A and B are shown apart, each in its own frame.
Chain A
Amino acid sequence: MNASMYKSAVKPTWCPGCGDFGVLAGITQALAEMGWEPENVVAVSGIGCSSRFPFFLSTYGFHSIHGRAVPVAIGMRIARPDLKVVVFGGDGDGFAIGGGHFLHGARRNVDVTYVIMDNHIYGLTKGQTSPTSDLKFKTKSTPYGSVEPPINPVQIAICSGATYVARGFAGDPKGLKDLFVRGMRHKGFALIDVLSPCVTYNRVDTFKSFKERIAAIPADHDRADLSAALTLATDPERFFTGVLFEIQRPVFEDRVEALKGYSDRSWIEVVEDVFDSMS
Chain B
Amino acid sequence: MAKQFIKGNEAVVKGAILAGCQAYYGYPITPASEIAEAAAYYLPLLGRTFLQAESEIGAINMVYGAASAGIRVMTASSSPGISLKQEGISYAAGAELSCVVVDITRGGPGLGNIAPEQSDYNQMVKGGGHGNYKLIVLAPNCAQEMCDLTMHAFDLADRYRTPVVVMADGFVGQMMEPVEFPAPVVDLPPKPWATAGTPETYKNLITSIDLEPDDLERHINHLYAKYAEIEANEVRYEEYMVDDADLVCIGFGVVSRILQSGIERVRAEGKKVGLLRPITLWPFPEKRLARLADEGKKLLVMEMNKGMMVDDVRLAVQHRVPVGFYGRVGGNVPSGREVYDQIMLHLEAV
A interface residues with partner B (beta carbon < 8 Å): 8, 37-42, 44, 54-55, 58-65, 68, 71-80, 82-83, 100-101, 103-104, 256, 259-262, 267-268, 270-272, 274-276, 278-279
Q: List 17 other contacts, CB 8 Å, given A38-B202, A72-B65.
A: A37-B199, A60-B205, A61-B205, A63-B207, A64-B65, A68-B58, A75-B64, A76-B65, A78-B62, A80-B197, A83-B195, A83-B197, A100-B58, A270-B45, A272-B1, A278-B4, A279-B2
7 contacts between A and B (CB under 8 A): A39-B197, A71-B57, A74-B51, A75-B63, A75-B69, A80-B197, A268-B184
At the interface, yes or no: B203 with Cβ under 8 Å from chain A? yes
Interface centre among A38, A39, A62, A71 (most CB of B within 10 A): A71
- A275's partner among B1, B58, B61, B197 (CB-CB below 8 A) is B1
Give residues of chain B (99-126) contacting chain A, Cβ–Cβ below 8 Å.
none
**A contact residues around B4 at 8 Å (CB):** 275, 278-279
- Give the complex CA separation of A61 and B18 in angstroms: 31
**Contact at A104–B65, with CB atoms within 8 Å?**
no
**B contact residues around A73 at 8 Å (CB):** 65
Least Cβ–Cβ distance between A32 and chain B, in angstroms: 15
At the interface, yes or no: B278 with Cβ under 8 Å from chain A? no
- Give the complex CA separation of A58 and B251 in angstroms: 52
- Give the complex CA separation of A236 and B69 in angstroms: 43
**Contact at B202–A100, with CB atoms within 8 Å?**
no
At the interface, yes or no: B160 with Cβ under 8 Å from chain A? no
**Contact at B88–A42, with CB atoms within 8 Å?**
no
**Contact at B2–A61, with CB atoms within 8 Å?**
no
- B66's partner among A38, A79, A260 (CB-CB below 8 A) is A79
The 0/1 profile, CB within 8 Å of A marked 1, for residues 235-272 of chain B is 00000000000000000000000000000000000000
- B46's partner among A62, A63, A274 (CB-CB below 8 A) is A274
Chain B, interface size category, equals 35 or more
Least Cβ–Cβ distance between A111 and chain B, in angstroms: 14
At the interface, yes or no: B204 with Cβ under 8 Å from chain A? yes
**Contact at A60–B204, with CB atoms within 8 Å?**
yes
- Give the complex CA separation of A39 and B57 in angstroms: 29
Beyond A8-B203, A39-B202, A64-B64, is A79–B47 a contact (Cβ under 8 Å)?
Answer: no
Give residues of chain B (285-313) contacting chain A, Cβ–Cβ below 8 Å.
none
At the interface, yes or no: B53 with Cβ under 8 Å from chain A? yes
**A contact residues around B73 at 8 Å (CB):** 75, 79
**Contact at B66–A42, with CB atoms within 8 Å?**
no
At the interface, yes or no: B215 with Cβ under 8 Å from chain A? no
Give residues of chain B (198-236) contacting chain A, Cβ–Cβ below 8 Å.
198-199, 201-209
**Contact at B18–A75, with CB atoms within 8 Å?**
no
Beyond A80-B195, A260-B47, A268-B184, is A68–B57 a contact (Cβ under 8 Å)?
Answer: yes
- Give the complex CA separation of A40 and B197 in angstroms: 6
Least Cβ–Cβ distance between B239 and chain A, in angstroms: 32
Beyond A75-B61, A276-B1, A279-B2, is A64–B91 a contact (Cβ under 8 Å)?
Answer: yes
**B contact residues around A259 at 8 Å (CB):** 44
**Contact at A60–B195, with CB atoms within 8 Å?**
yes
**Contact at A62–B184, with CB atoms within 8 Å?**
no
- Give the complex CA separation of A100 and B53 in angstroms: 11
- A78's partner among B51, B57, B70, B201 (CB-CB below 8 A) is B51
Beyond A44-B65, A68-B64, is A256–B49 a contact (Cβ under 8 Å)?
Answer: yes
Least Cβ–Cβ distance between B48 and chain A, in angstroms: 7
**A contact residues around B197 at 8 Å (CB):** 39-40, 80, 82-83
At the interface, yes or no: B23 with Cβ under 8 Å from chain A? yes
**B contact residues around A272 at 8 Å (CB):** 1
- Give the complex CA separation of A60 and B207 in angstroms: 11
**Contact at A65–B88, with CB atoms within 8 Å?**
yes
Give residues of chain B (1-44) contacting chain A, Cβ–Cβ below 8 Å.
1-5, 14, 17-18, 22-23, 25, 42, 44
- Give the complex CA separation of A265 and B338 in angstroms: 53
Interface centre among B44, B73, B201, B205 (most CB of A within 10 A): B205
**Contact at B1–A58, with CB atoms within 8 Å?**
no
